[in-house]
Structure 1
Amino acid sequence: MTATTAPAPAPMARLTDLRPSHDDIAGDVLEGLSASPKQLPSKYFYDARGSELFEAITRQPEYYLTRVEIALLDARMDAIARAVGAHAHVVEYGSGSGRKTAQLLEGLRDPVAYTPIEIDRGTLLASTARLAEAFPQIEMLPVCADFSRPVELPRPGRATGHTLVFFPGSTLGNFDHPGAIELMRSMRATMGARGQALIGIDLDKDSATLEAAYNDAAGVTAAFTLNLLTRLNRELGSDFELDGFRHHAVYARERGRIETFLVSRHEQSVIVAGRDFRFAAGEAMLVEYSHKYTDAGLAGLAQVAGLTVVEGWNDPRDWFGLRLLQPA
């Protein structure tokens, strides 16, 4: 009788926990509500429920971005792997469920380590556990943090060829242009002189397609947006009435972006962290930007940040693109 050897268990992920504190969240929210017009930071959409709702959004028929990007990664992975090279330390900003990550790690040449940076701890640990099981040869070094601020990376146990920042989903579009430049400068510092960034961008297209993607008929995106108020009620003791606001997203072509608002249904007052904020009937509170890009527009932002676009891949309809950047 031949003895069989059980497969080696996946290595334990080493978590670095840098979650925003209560004071961080309160400070950001109070600053936004004190602005004119009022706004809330979209990075706080992603508590456990928000992450679940976003995954549901990606499966709505109107929301083309995820399925087109997944198909693009699948179709062009060989070319991407050649351009990236071997032995990368993959660092993902806003890793979410890790569906696209699995495609990337499977397709790259001997990636050494993977560091997802995600603001929701539960989502981070769940996706890291799935990836650790699927890729036991890759060291998992998750970081629970706000990736929009500089994060010191954990050091892999094995030598790496270079760092690859992976930023799919056109999440770059959630930042205004100064914020996108600042984030790309942070990427440049993270990747180092020999590093790269693989960024997903939603390309400019007709308004009807864009607006449908952010106002799905099933109302999942509306539930996702309103869940931000639920989170603030829970974590900051605010008293937003969810029935008092409605979701509204519109494409502002002159600014090249979807603008998502929560609109007050009537005159009302809301207490947040002990402060009183008044809303007029019909007052729109900005909760998210989603910029749409041209190649010239992205190249201009990258240049200011000290980066240059070296490779690019689009889907057959030119709806979505992946761009590989490196320090200029």
Structure 2
Amino acid sequence: MMDGLTRDPFREDVIKGLGQRQKAIPSRWLYDEKGSKLFDEITELPEYYPTRTELKILGDRAGEMADAIGPEAVIVEYGAGSLLKVRILLDALERPAAFVPVDISASHLEAAADELTADYPDLTIKPIASDFMASNLGESLPEAAGRRAGFFPGSTVGNLLDAEIHRFLSNARADLGDGACFIIGIDQPKPPRILVPAYDDAQGVTAAFNKNLLTRMNRELDANFDLDAFAHEARWNESDSRIEMHLCSLKPQTVRVAGESFDFQDGETIHTENSRKIALDRFAGMAEKAGWSLSRHWTDEKGLFAVMLLEAD
């Protein structure tokens, strides 16, 4: 419980979200230590094409990306996670000066940064435990002879609404400053027969990832969710070009969370994540409004995924 002086953003978001007509909790709260580990497992599933597709693009094109960034750069990775993909970029860069991973899960970030330090002992690594949406990193970033380059792989930007994308890109533009560039992964629109299994895998790892949010609320907010009374659902929303993840109540029930009660009808859901599939031209327009211009992009041969290079205007 809060003492009137200390804010608990997780509690605030949960109480507000469960009180809405369509119950919803921001997707960033899926990524506690257990959730981050489960997501790493998801990226290796056969149904989950984005990670392996983006890895191939990075592997094939990292030299071109490094040439565009230039020598002695400071690389800032937003929503850093396991730091797998940035290794490909770091290996291609000429004398990178520093790497700043930003992630909401402090313990997961620390472990990943320690592993990276062991493999890149000459690289300055400065992890920052923060929600990338709330970041104000300008004064925290190391100085270097080269320029600053943002790195945001994994199509995480697709979790955001238009206004949130604008805020994130605008904040990053302020963080990285004049002369900066930004490499961003964007999942492309495609048929639901490919999309839905990627978010509802046969092994049930994505279900465990989604339901871990209930476990987290039970642990941190003194909630009493019965995990067996909720089911994971992945839905394709055609009008908004997005996959939605929901936790569906399997019966009428009342749940206590942080001292408050919330009623669920049979079939009522908590909306936990969006994963939008954004066409290149649409995203380029969004970026332009936030102070970036699309310089170039790279895709796989099937056009499943794109990696974009933005330049600060």
TM range (shorter): over 0.9
Q: Which residue of 2 aligns with 1:98?
A: 83
Corresponding position: 1:77 with 2:52: no
1:31-50 alignment to 2 at 5 Å? Answer: 31-50=16-35
Which whole-Å CA distance do the structure 1 matches of 2:110 and 2:25 have between them?
26
Runs of 4+ in 1 over 2 A off after TM superposition: 150-156
The root-mean-square deviation of aligned C-alpha atoms, in Å, is 1.2
Q: Which residue of 2 aligns with 1:212?
A: 197
1:255 Cα shift? 0.6
Find the partner of 1:199 among 167, 177, 184.
184
Q: Is the 8 A contact 1:314 1:321 kept in 2?
A: yes
Corresponding position: 1:131 with 2:116: yes
Corresponding position: 1:308 with 2:293: yes
1:207-246 alignment to 2 at 5 Å? Answer: 207-246=192-231
Q: Is the 8 A contact 1:22 1:235 kept in 2?
A: no
1:175-186 alignment to 2 at 5 Å? Answer: 175-186=160-171
Which whole-Å CA distance do the structure 1 matches of 2:72 and 2:19 have between them?
47
Q: Which residue of 2 aligns with 1:15?
A: none
Q: Which residue of 2 aligns with 1:159?
A: 144
Q: Which residue of 2 aligns with 1:60?
A: 45
Q: Is the 8 A contact 2:74 2:144 kept in 1?
A: no
Which whole-Å CA distance do the structure 2 matches of 1:268 and 1:119 have between them?
31
TM-score (normalised: structure 2): 0.95
Q: Is the 8 A contact 1:215 1:248 kept in 2?
A: yes
Which whole-Å CA distance do the structure 1 matches of 2:145 and 2:82 have between them?
25
SS of the residue 1:169 aligns to: coil
Which whole-Å CA distance do the structure 2 matches of 1:225 and 1:146 have between them?
19
1:93-119 Cα offsets, whole Å, 9 max, x none, are 111111101111111121100110111
1:254-269 alignment to 2 at 5 Å? Answer: 254-269=239-254
* Structure 2 portions without partners, runs of 5+: 1-5
Query: Matched residues, percent identical?
Result: 40
Which whole-Å CA distance do the structure 2 matches of 1:35 and 1:163 have between them?
40
Q: Is the 8 A contact 2:100 2:141 kept in 1?
A: no
Q: Which residue of 2 aligns with 1:120?
A: 105
SS of the residue 1:255 aligns to: coil
1:22 Cα shift? 6.4
1:131 Cα shift? 1.0
Which whole-Å CA distance do the structure 2 matches of 1:152 and 1:236 have between them?
30
SS of the residue 2:272 aligns to: strand
* Structure 1 portions without partners, runs of 5+: 1-20
Corresponding position: 1:23 with 2:45: no
Summarize the Cα distance change of 1:238–1:22 in structure 2 as closer, same or farther, 3 Å threshold: farther
1:39-85 Cα offsets, whole Å, 9 max, x none, are 01110111111111111101110001111111110001111111111
Letter in 2 for 1:140: I
Aligned residues: 307
1:185 Cα shift? 0.7
